[in-house]
Amino acid sequence: MNTPVPEYLADLLRNCKAFEGGQLATYIPELASADPNKLAVALTTLDGIIYTAGDDEYEFSIQSISKAFAYAFVIEELGSTVVKEKVGVEPSGEAFNEISLDQTEERAKPKNPMINSGAITVHSLIPKTTRADRAETIRQFFSKLAGRDLSFDLSIYESEKDTAFRNLSIGYSLRNLDVLESDPVEIVESYIKQCSINVTVKDLANMTSVLVNDGVLPTTGERILSRQTVRQVLTVMTTCGMYNAAGNWLANVGIPAKSGVSGGIIGVLPGQVGLAVFAPKLDQYGNSVRGIDIMQQMSNDMGLHLLEGIPSSRAIINDQDIKEVEADVKVYKLHGVLQFSEAERLLRKLQEEKRGSNSIVFDLSHISLVNNVGRRMLLDGIDRLRADGHRVALIDPEQILPNAKTNLDFEPKIYHEIQEISKEKA
C-alpha cells in the first residue's frame, strides 16, 4: 500500500493552478524577475517525515519567514524577558514595513517581531562572535533546523541592500530612540542578509518541525528550543504572522503562520503538522495568493483549524458507565478525551461517593486521549477518594496513569476478576 499523502498534495497544486491573481513583489528589484509559475508544497509530520509536491527543489529567499526563527533564536539565547523588553507582542494591524512603535510604554519599542521594525531589532540582539557576524550566526542556526547547509542569495541581498531606503529609515528611527544600540546601517544590512538565505519548501518544512515537535528536532532528537520559546514564537505567529491580514488568516486557515515577500508561507499546528508552500505572486498584504489558497484547502481537508480543538466527548462518564459489579465494588468506565473540562466533570461526579471503605475501580481502557491536566486531576481524585477511606484500583492497559500502577489498592487477582466482570456486564 502507498500512503495517499503525496497524491493529495499533488492534487492540491493541480487544482490551485487555476487560481490566478496577485503580483510579484517589485520593491526588491531582483524579486520582480522571479518565475511567477513556480509552485510547491511540503508537509512535515510530528516525527519529521516530509511529503512534498511541485517545485520542491526550487530555492527562493526566505525573507520574512526568517523573522519567526530569528525570534526563536534570540529568546533561546537571551531569555524572553530581555527580548520582550525590546520588542512587544501586539499585532500592529499595519503593513509589514510600517515603523509601528508602541509608544504607550515607558520606552518606545516595535510592536511585534514579525514586522520589519521588530525583526530588525530582534536581529540586532543576535550575539556577534569573533568568528561569525549576526547573519552568519543565524545562517548556521537555520541550517541546523533545515538539516543541510543553507546559503545566502547574494544577488537578492545586494539588490535589496541597494534599495533599502525604507528599512534604513526604520533603522535610523530605531537608533534615534535607542531601540537599536549600534550602527543602524550595519544592522539593517545584516538583517537583509538574513532575509536572503535560500531555502526550498522542504527546508522550510524541516525548519517548522522543531516548532511542531515542542522544540525538539525530530530527525536528531536534539532539543533546540525550550517549550516556552516555542509557545512564544507560535503566539506571535498566530497574532502577527500574516501582518494586517492576520485576522482573516486566523478565521479562514486558523494555524500559526508566517509569510515572506518572495512567496513562501509556513504554518505550524503544534503536535500535528508543519506546512510550507511557495508561489511568488502576492496579494495587497504581501502574502502569497496561491499559498493562502493551498493552506486554506489543507486546513479544511485535514481539520487543522486551531479553534476546532480536540473534539471532546464531553461525557467522560455517564450514569450507565458506573456499575456496582459486586457489593461494595463500583466500576467507573471512562471513555473519550480526558482534559480539564472532562476531568472536572468526573471529579464532580465523584463528589457523590460518600466517605467509606467501599472499593472503586477506574476502567481507563476506553480513554482515547489524555493531557497533563486531565492526568493530574484524575490522580488527585484518586488521592482524595483514598483519603476518604476508599480502596481504588485501575484497569489501565494503555498506561494512562503509569505512576499510579505501582500503587494499587487491589490484589492483582481481584483486579483481574473485576476486569472480567466489568467486561461481562458491559
Q: For residue 90, which amino acid is it? A: E
- The answer to whether 286 contacts ligand GLN (rule: CB under 6 A) is yes
| 326 annotated to a ligand binding site | no
Q: CB-based contacts of 165: which residues, under 8 Å, 6+ apart?
A: none
| 116 in a known ligand binding site | yes
58 labeled binding residue:
no
Residue 218 CA to its chain's centroid (Å): 14
Provide the CA 103 distance to its chain's centre, in angstroms. 29
Q: Which of 261, 275, 350, 367 binds ligand GLN (CB under 6 A)?
A: 261
Position 260 contacts ligand GLN (CB under 6 A): yes
Q: 152 vs 410, which CB is nearer to ligand GLN? A: 152
Shortest distance in whole angstroms from residue 96 CB to ligand GLN? 4
The minimum distance between CB 65 and ligand GLN, in angstroms, equals 7
Return the number of the residue (199 or 331) whose C-beta is nearest ligand GLN.
Answer: 199
Instruction: Name the amino acid, one letter, at 181.
Output: E
DSSP-assigned states of every residue in 276-313? EEE---B-TTS-BHHHHHHHHHHHHHHT--GGG-PPP-
Considering beta carbons, is residue 196 or 213 the nearer one to ligand GLN? 196
Closest to 197 measured CA to CA, from 23, 57, 76, 65: 65
C-alpha dist (Å) from residue 91 to 95, 107, 163, 194, 236: 11, 18, 27, 23, 8
Would the annotation count 236 as a binding residue?
Answer: no
Q: Rule CB under 6 A: which of 181-220 touch ligand GLN?
A: 192, 195
- The cell for 173 is 528611527
Is 167 annotated in a binding site? The answer is: yes
Judged by CB under 6 A, the chain residues 27 through 86 that form the site for ligand GLN are 63-64
Q: Is the dihedral of CA 337, 343, 345, 350 positive or negative?
A: positive
Q: Which is nearer to ligand GLN, 66 or 422 (CB)?
A: 66
Distance CA 45, CA 271 (A): 9
**2 is annotated as contributing to ligand binding:** no
State how far the Cα of 56 lies from the Cα of 41, in Å rounded to an integer: 7
Q: How far is the CB of 318 from ligand GLN (least distance, A)?
A: 52
Asked whether 291 and 63 are in contact (CB, 8 A), the reply is no
Q: Does 116 interact with ligand GLN (rule: CB under 6 A)?
A: yes
Q: Applying CB under 6 A, does 167 fall inside the site for ligand GLN?
A: yes
Nearer to ligand GLN, 288 or 422 (CB): 288
The sign one gets for the Cα dihedral 218, 220, 226, 230 is negative
Q: Which residue is nearest to ligand GLN (CB)?
A: 64
Q: Is the Cβ of residue 64 or residue 213 nearer to ligand GLN in the bound state?
A: 64
Cβ-based nearer residue to ligand GLN, 153 or 160: 160
Is 64 marked as a binding-site residue? yes
Q: Report the distance separating Cα 98 and Cα 167, nearest Å.
A: 9
Among candidate residues 294, 269, 301, 297, the one with its CA nearest the CA of residue 279: 294
Q: Residues at the annotated binding site?
A: 64, 116, 160, 167, 191, 243, 261
Q: Residues at the annotated binding site for substrate?
A: 64, 116, 160, 167, 191, 243, 261
Q: Which spans of this chain sit near ligand GLN (rule: CB under 6 A)?
A: 63-64, 96-97, 116, 160, 167, 192, 195, 260-261, 286
